[in-house]
Amino acid sequence: MRIDGRTRLAGVVGWPVEHSLSPAMHNAAYEELDLNWVYLALPAPDQGALFRLADAARSSAFVGFNVTMPHKRAVLELCDEVAMLAQMAGAVNTVHCVEGRLVGYNTDSRGLLESLQAEAQFNAEGRRIAIIGAGGAAGAAVAGFILGKATHLSIVNRDVARAEQLMTRVEPYLRGLEVSLETIDAGAEQAVREADLVINATPLGMKVGDASPIPVEWFRPDQVVYDMVYLPTDTAFLEGARLAGARALGGLGMLVAQGALAVDIWTENPQQRAPREVMRTSAEDAISRLASDGETS
């Protein structure tokens, strides 16, 4: 890595970010692509810090930045322009800094589709999908499956009002896609059993010992089961899926893909695709270092 007067900045904005895998995988990508960029963790404990960082990013030194919890919704209002997928998702996770303007994207949506295709050869078109959760991650998933032309989406959430808010936001984009809202106590079991793909888009699983967000007895052998949680690498949700004989995938592939798609946006060069394998290897190495330090829980 070289640092000089021409080095451009990128980073991940959120709180906390000290254990983020993004600096490792982005800096590995920049080195592979011979880009004079550096990627940093940019802690923003509150919205005031977020506003200051976003304002600083309007300088020519910044190429862009990623956004993680808890600021994906708040940063949407700070952008001068917001891409359609981010509007559908109701959240921005990637910002491109263009001549003093901030352009917001949601690469989580396409990143999920890319991960499913690469790791499970799963194409969403014509498929039935159950999404557990109705927050920001679920919004990105719903936007992705609208893009991917799924046939039916079941949104399973304990808070019906929040699921209805998500439904209201995406309704103008559905184009014939059927969407049902289910609760754990009513309708969820049938929705999960009938789904080709079941996704955990809740935070349950981020802490060691967390229970599965749904009863694992609902899984069946020919399903793909995807947990958007990537740390820890194994969860009760995924363990239950494996016991049922389903294809179980953690969220690391999505993390890598959304980061790679951000690099693709920032380089503005369709011929210079971000090196997915290099980024994944760097992320896996970072996980191993965290594990050796006892920091993956």
Catalytic residue positions, numbered: 72
Side chain identity at residue 241, one-letter code: A
| CA-based end-to-end distance of the chain | 30
What is the 8-class DSSP label of residue 207? S
How far is 44 from 186, CA to CA, in rounded Å? 39
User: How many C-alpha atoms does 117 have within 13 Å on its Cβ side?
Assistant: 13
Enter the DSSP assignment of 290: H
Give the 3-state secondary structure of residue 13. Answer: strand
Vertex 136, ends 133 and 140: CA angle to 5°?
Answer: 95
Q: Which of 130, 158, 123, 89 is nearest to 220 (CA)?
A: 130
Given a contact cutoff of 8 angstroms between Cβ atoms, the answer to whether 168 and 99 are in contact is no
